[in-house]
Amino acid sequence: MRKAERVHYIDERLQAQYPEPPIPLVHHDTYSLLVAVLLSAQCTDARVNTVTPSLWELAKTPSEMAQQAVSEVQQIIRPCGLSARKAAAIVTLSQQLCEHHAGQVPASLAALEILPGVGHKTAAVVMSQAFGDPQFPVDTHIHRLAQRWGLTDGRSVVQTERDLRQLFARERWNALHLQMIYWGRDFCSAQACDGTVCEICRHCYPRRRRPVVTRKA
């Protein structure tokens, strides 16, 4: 099967499986989404969703969070891992939002990327899910699937994002980002599929017999 045929099949299959993919991180506004995405680094969304309600009880806005002690924030978010670094980032970025952005999350990829603890992937997720700006942030699920489906060589997440942007229509990026994540969790996880098990892997590579060794993100 040619790459163009695989891209067409993948696009249609994911849209059929997840026609309206929900945002997996529970949030109540753009700021809470930003913090939740930051917390999700090297942590599952499910765990983040169990932690953030207590965090919002402590502080729900940038101005409230900016006044909190890092140690108190760290105590709440400890289950998410890397708690010292993440707590310091949450408090400091909240202060910067108040000082430089009138307490609002900026609708700019460049402005988001320079906030403490906010890298390209986190900024792209917020731009996509909060502001509807077409982005294709690549997480571990997407990086793995794109390699198994022959869409990238996986030598870096930067390259994977670049390849996916070139293969799929821009208006599909935001939905596909979520759809690939859900497919990776439901059918093509690192444990449940090795490139020969799930429906999309089998359809795209019906003659594949050996497991696919993928590069990690």
Tokens 């093509």 label which residue?
Answer: 188
Mean pLDDT score across all residues of the chain: 96
CB 30 within 8 A of CB 128: no
Question: Which two structure tokens, joined as six digits, stand for 98?
Answer: 């108040």
Of 166, 176, 114, 140, residue with least CA distance to 45? 140
Answer whether residue 1 shows pLDDT above 80: yes
What pLDDT sits at residue 36?
98
Is 86 in the active site?
A: no
What pLDDT sits at residue 216?
84
Q: Which CATH class is domain 30-131?
A: mainly alpha
The average pLDDT across 142-148 equals 97
> Residue 79: which pLDDT band, with cuts at 50, 70 and 90?
very high
Domain spans, the chain: 3-21+136-204, 30-131
Of 168, 139, 169, residue with least CA distance to 151? 168
**Which of 121, 153, 163, 216 is an active site residue?**
121
Answer whether residue 217 shows pLDDT above 80: no
Q: Does the domain formed by 3-21+136-204 have CATH 1.10.10.10?
A: no
> Could you report the per-residue pLDDT of 21-75, keeping only the tens digit for each?
999 999 999 999 999 999 999 899 999 999 999 999 999 999 999 999 999 999 9
The average pLDDT across 115-140 equals 96
**Which of 45, 139, 163, 194 is an active site residue?**
139
Is 139 in the active site?
A: yes
